[in-house]
Structures are given as structure tokens and as C-alpha cells.
Amino acid sequence: MKREYPCVEVNLGKITHNTREIVKLCSTKGIHVVGVTKVFCAKKPVVKAMLNGGLEIVGDSRIENLKRLEEFKCRKLLLRIPMESHAAEVVKYSDISLNSEIETIKRLSKAAKRASKIHNVILMIDMGDLREGVLERDVIDLVKEIISLENIKLAGIGTNLTCYGGVIPDGNNLGKLVMIKKEIKDKIGYEIPIVSGGNSSSLYAVMNGTIPDGINQLRIGEAIVLGRETSFGKDVPGCYKDSFTLKGEIIEIKEKPSVPIGTIGMDAFGQTPHFEDRGIIKRAIVALGRQDIVSEGLTPLDKQVNILGASSDHLLLDITNSCNLYKVGDVVDFNMDYGCLLRAMTSPYVKKYYVD
Ligand SMILES: *Cc1c(COP(=O)(O)O)cnc(C)c1O
């Protein structure tokens, strides 16, 4: 099949393998995995590959993505705190949502009533990372209010760490989350089924055995997709790190100086660039740019190729030291970090291909 560039090639077998490894690792601690699909825009072949790895529930931050997955019979979790204005869609297209605003939960209850449904809610508690979640001191009163709502089931409590504040999940913050579950039982007599202990950063605590007993759900995206936990960036044992490959086509190759000629002002993004003089170098331009990628998050598979920079539509490479004799029309392969993968999967200019 003729390919168009730029493109991302997804190895579905590796995604299934990674999912299976992580599901197995977590099950040794009694933890269920929610497979998070947002970084690849919930593309159906990848979702299917994840489900083949033994997942029963997928999570996404966008209700539009969950709506597109309606045909998949798995349970669906909405990760981002819902917009009040989306209450009807949230109830329709997700089985369970993460929440932190009582007025929104009331709206969900009303929408669920109209749809003759019971909607499941996980109450998010901020354990210090300062993104979403209610404060600990408000939990008991909120739980009382939530369990009194007619068409809502309080299915769990949860937290999110290492997203805004960079806070590492540990026995202290996750231990406290488990304590809150006990406190709810003691004070109100309500048994909380799910304790959702974070994202791929909590996998580190699973790997080294310090995840507190009582955490029974993790919401995992990056570790499945890139094979690494996100507290310290350590590899997850037995997982592939190259399930996604970015490919771009070379449109120009010239020997030119390493330092621009003339007075240096601002680049295309308002920054003043700096250059090291390495004489004449062999430079390649790839038809890829910041509309498609985050150049800082790209790693060429050819270790002798260096990235010089990128503007909106041009990626500049130094190919001076490469053993490959590149020519115009050749395709260059890259690995991507999370931010770059997110951009590439979201860019309408980047084609997506799936291989087994
Ligand atoms: C994105 C997200 C996750 C998954 O994060 P990864 O680092 O990709 O595992 C989990 N929970 C919430 C609330 C999220 O927004």
C-alpha cells in the first residue's frame, strides 16, 4: 500500500502485549486497570488492541471520544471533570465519570433520571498535586450529599497526581486516600467500592511493591503506549517502548553553514536563537513541523542524526555524521515522547497506519 507522509505507524501487537503485561502486573496487587485512550485520540484500532490485552474499561478525557466508541461494549470512564453543559452526553456515553463539583453531579443525576439510568461517580480528592479534586476536609459532607442523589451511585473515590504539581504517588498521599475510604465507612456506614489511585506515575509504586493495600484501580495511558511509568520515567519490565513510530519525508538536503548569516533577530516563534559554529554541515529538511509534532520530544531512530529545530512546517536535521546516504524523498523514522505523540495523533495532517 502506498503511504502518505508524515504518518504515525502504530504496532497494534505491541499495544496488546503492553496492556497484557500491565494488567498482569497490577492484578498481583488486586488492581484493575482503566486503559486511557486520550493520547491517541481513542483511535478505534488502538482501543481494540488495548481491549485484546485484557482490559474491561477504557477512559478518555473527552466525551466526544467516548461517543465514537459507542460500538465497543466495554465500560467507559470519563476522565476530565464533566462540563455541566455536557450532563446529558456524559450520562449517555459514559458509565462512570470523575467528578469534583456537587452542582455538576446534581445535573448528572437529573440527566440520568431523564434517561432512566443510574450514573456512577468517582469523587476526586486533591492529594496535593493541585489539579482537580475536592479538599480532604470537605469529603464527608460531600459524600453524604452525593449518596442522597436519586440517580447517582457513588462508585468510588480517586485522586490524580504528577500532572500539574509533579507530586509523586507514595504511601503518604495514596495511604491517606485509603484512610479516607475507611473514614467514610466509619462515619457514614457507606462502603466505597473503587479507590482509584492515579495514572501511570502510580505504576512505579506497583513495580517496587510500595503501592498501599486498598488501592484497587489505576488509570493507565502512557505506560501502555510508551512502556514507561511517569514518576521517574523508568521502563516497565517486559513492555515495548516503540509501539508508535513517526515517519517524515525529506524535501531538501544541502551542505550549509551551522550558523545563520546576518544579524540574528527572532525566530518564527518569537525566540532569539543561539548557534554553535561547527562549520559546514549537511542539513536535511523533513516535511514535518510544529503543526504536527513537538520537536523537543522527537528522537531519530538513526542515532547519528541530530535535530536542529523546527518551524511550523519544517523540521531541520543535521545528517553530517550519519552512515546512511540520505536523499530527497527518503523517509526518516522517529520515536516520540508523550507530548509529541499527543500532538501527532491530534494533527489532521499526520496520517495514521496500523500494523500487526
Ligand atoms: C490522562 C489521565 C490519566 C492517564 O494518565 P497517563 O499518565 O497517560 O497514564 C489518568 N487519569 C486522569 C484523570 C487523566 O486525565
What is the tens place of the pLDDT at every residue in 274-288? 888 999 999 999 999
Nearest-Å Rg of the Cα atoms of the chain is 23
Mutating to test ligand 1, I would choose from 63, 167, 219 the residue with most ligand atoms within 8 A of its C-beta, which is: 219
Q: Specify the amino acid at residue 351.
A: K
* Mean predicted confidence (pLDDT) in 218-245: 97
Ligand 1 neighbourhood includes 62 CB (under 6 angstroms): no
Reported as a single tens digit per residue, the pLDDT across 165-220 is 999 999 999 999 999 999 999 999 999 999 999 999 999 999 999 999 999 999 99
Reported as a single tens digit per residue, the pLDDT across 292-335 is 999 999 999 999 999 999 999 999 999 999 999 999 999 999 99
- The cell for 220 is 493507565
Q: Which atom in ligand 1 lies closest to the alpha carbon of residue 201? A: 7
Backbone φ and ψ for 66, nearest 5 degrees, come out as: -65, -35
Mutating to test ligand 1, I would choose from 98, 163, 194 the residue with most ligand atoms within 8 A of its C-beta, which is: 163
Instruction: Print the SS3 string covering 299-344.
Output: EECCCCCEEEEECCCCEEEECCCCCCCCCCCCEEEEEECHHHHHHH
Ligand 1 neighbourhood includes 61 CB (under 6 angstroms): yes
* % pLDDT > 70, the chain: 100
Reported as a single tens digit per residue, the pLDDT across 333-355 is 999 999 999 999 999 999 999 99
- The cell for 180 is 479516607
- The cell for 166 is 509533579
> Residue 6, preceding bond cis, omega within 30 degrees?
yes
Ligand 1 neighbourhood includes 132 CB (under 6 angstroms): no
Residue 118 has pLDDT above 80, yes or no: yes
- The cell for 239 is 513492555
Catalytic residues: 38
Ligand 1 neighbourhood includes 221 CB (under 6 angstroms): yes
Ligand 1 neighbourhood includes 219 CB (under 6 angstroms): yes
* Mean predicted confidence (pLDDT) in 236-261: 97
Residue 204 · residue 222 · CB < 8 Å: no
Q: Which atom in ligand 1 lies closest to the alpha carbon of residue 219? A: 10
Reported as a single tens digit per residue, the pLDDT across 16-62 is 999 999 999 999 999 999 999 999 999 999 999 999 999 999 999 99
pLDDT, residue 24, reads 98
- The CA 65 to ligand 1 mean position distance, Å, reads 15
Ligand 1 neighbourhood includes 38 CB (under 6 angstroms): yes
Q: Which residue owns the Cα nearest ligand 1 atom 13? A: 79
d(CA 56, CA 75): 6
- The CA 222 to ligand 1 mean position distance, Å, reads 8
Mutating to test ligand 1, I would choose from 23, 199, 229, 231 the residue with most ligand atoms within 8 A of its C-beta, which is: 199
Residue 125 · residue 163 · CB < 8 Å: no
- The CA 200 to ligand 1 mean position distance, Å, reads 7
pLDDT, residue 266, reads 87
pLDDT, residue 327, reads 98
- The CA 79 to ligand 1 mean position distance, Å, reads 7
The whole model's pTM is what? 0.95
Residues facing 51 on adjacent strands = none
- The CA 36 to ligand 1 mean position distance, Å, reads 7
- The CA 220 to ligand 1 mean position distance, Å, reads 6
Of 305, 260, 262, nearest in space to 282 by CA: 305
pLDDT, residue 235, reads 97
Ligand 1 neighbourhood includes 200 CB (under 6 angstroms): yes
- The cell for 71 is 460500538
Residue 2 has pLDDT above 90, yes or no: no
Which CA distances in Å does 131 have to 55, 199, 220?
A: 27, 13, 17
Residue 1 has pLDDT above 80, yes or no: no
Mutating to test ligand 1, I would choose from 22, 36, 60, 94 the residue with most ligand atoms within 8 A of its C-beta, which is: 36
How many residues are recorded in the chain? 356
* Mean predicted confidence (pLDDT) in 118-144: 97
Backbone φ and ψ for 321, nearest 5 degrees, come out as: -95, 5
